[in-house]
């Protein structure tokens, strides 16, 4: 049991840490018109923004999406803790919840001020995790804005990607390390697109990798909310059912022996070196060689 806890804790740490993107830039210039055609709320990934006074937030990878958008589109970036560990100030679950709350408030404010403005959510890594949760909240009728106001949701390397989500680009195996969203995106499913590069373990964890899936669940529930206990139970039961189908506890224990742990360490090292998590400005998603970030920018322009 000590070995199980130690391994899951270490893997949860790896699951919660994205490789910091090297893309920098500034957010799109706000339209002089107070009511744009499309209002984009963008949520950066872990360590790309901060609430600390001595840290200058940057748009990070999503700047490759929002820079150059036409003037009828306004983009605002969400500032949140963007951390993963307790010694940083906020655990992953609390950091993500802050991103969801802040993004929700921004959508509500725009919706109240500009009834005719369409809304969009985009996010990268932890930001995609938050944007996807907010989109699911809205799409299943629990959100603070109507689902028909959401014109586009773009999720880049979503740690909660489901194999049934609308993937733009070549097919990839598995799903997000944090497990799929129970109930999906509801009424905003048709306007939601996800991007996952081959080899990006954050959004393409193999279904049979129960150590990583359990670690992802621990990261997701690191700051549990009483209102979400039903969701947590359903997600835990989904992992348990899959584990039973695969052979039960002996299968999990086999993934925790020394040789399996060493293979996991080697795989993570190879993953970090591959830059797969950072490569979305160059990752081609169609036959014309359009990158994921360019495709998303073009899509936002078209739906505005």
Distance of alpha carbon 275 from the chain centroid: 17
Query: Tens of pLDDT along 185-207?
Result: 999 999 999 999 999 989 999 88
Domain 19-204+276-303 CATH (choose: 3.40.50.1820, 3.40.50.720, 3.30.830.10, 3.40.50.2000): 3.40.50.1820
| Integer Cα distance of 128 and 45 in angstroms | 7
The answer to whether residues 75 and 27 touch, using CB atoms and an 8 Å cutoff, is: yes
Report, as an integer, the average pLDDT of 286-300.
Answer: 98
Report, as an integer, the average pLDDT of 281-300.
Answer: 97
Q: In the 8-state DSSP scheme, what is residue 175? A: B
Report, as an integer, the average pLDDT of 113-124.
Answer: 97
User: pLDDT at position 20, please?
Assistant: 43
Mean pLDDT of the chain: 86
| Integer Cα distance of 273 and 267 in angstroms | 10
Sign of CA dihedral 144, 146, 152, 154: positive
Residue 161 has pLDDT above 60, yes or no: yes
Query: Tens of pLDDT along 49-98?
Result: 888 776 666 789 999 999 999 999 999 999 998 887 766 667 888 899 99
Domain range summary for the chain, segments of one domain joined by +? 19-204+276-303
User: pLDDT at position 112, please?
Assistant: 95
Residue 55 buriedness (CB in 10 A; 0-12 / 13-18 / 19+): exposed
| Integer Cα distance of 272 and 265 in angstroms | 11
Query: Tens of pLDDT along 122-133?
Result: 999 999 999 999
| Integer Cα distance of 21 and 18 in angstroms | 8
User: pLDDT at position 13, please?
Assistant: 46
| Integer Cα distance of 264 and 271 in angstroms | 10
Q: Residue 190: what are its φ and ψ, rounded to 5°?
A: -65, -20
Strand 192-195 versus strand 150-156 pairing type: parallel
Query: Which of 18-22, 124-128, 236-240 shows the lowest per-residue confidence on average (mean pLDDT)?
Result: 18-22
């Amino acid at each position: 049991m000590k070995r199980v806890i130690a391994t899951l804790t270490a893997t949860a740490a790896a699951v919660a840490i994205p490789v910091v993107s090297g893309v920098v830039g500034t957010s799109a210039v706000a339209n002089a018109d107070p009511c744009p055609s499309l209002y984009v709320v963008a949520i950066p990934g872990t360590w790309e923004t901060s609430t600390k006074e001595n840290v200058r937030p940057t748009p990070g990878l999503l700047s490759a999406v929002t820079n150059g958008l036409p003037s009828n589109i306004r983009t605002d970036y969400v500032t949140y803790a963007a951390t993963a560990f307790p010694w940083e100030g906020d655990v992953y679950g609390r950091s993500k919840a802050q991103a969801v709350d802040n993004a929700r408030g921004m959508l509500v404010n725009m919706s109240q001020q500009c009834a005719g403005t369409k809304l969009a959510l985009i996010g990268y890594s932890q930001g995609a995790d938050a944007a996807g949760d907010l989109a699911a909240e809205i799409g299943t009728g629990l959100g603070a804005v109507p689902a028909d106001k959401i014109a586009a949701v773009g999720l880049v390397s979503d740690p909660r990607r489901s194999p049934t989500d609308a993937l733009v680009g070549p097919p990839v195996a598995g799903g997000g390390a944090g497990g799929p969203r129970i109930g999906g995106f509801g009424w905003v499913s048709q306007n939601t697109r996800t991007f996952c590069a081959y080899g990006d373990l954050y959004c393409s964890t193999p279904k049979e990798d129960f150590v990583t899936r359990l670690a992802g669940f621990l990261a997701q529930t690191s700051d549990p909310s009483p209102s979400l206990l039903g969701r947590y139970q359903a997600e835990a039961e989904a992992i348990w059912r899959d584990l039973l189908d695969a052979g039960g506890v002996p299968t999990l224990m086999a993934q925790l022996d020394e040789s399996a742990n060493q293979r996991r360490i080697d795989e993570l090292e190879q993953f970090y070196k591959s830059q797969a998590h950072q490569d979305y400005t160059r990752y081609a998603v169609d036959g014309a060689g359009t990158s994921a970030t360019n495709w998303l920018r073009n899509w936002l322009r078209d739906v505005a």
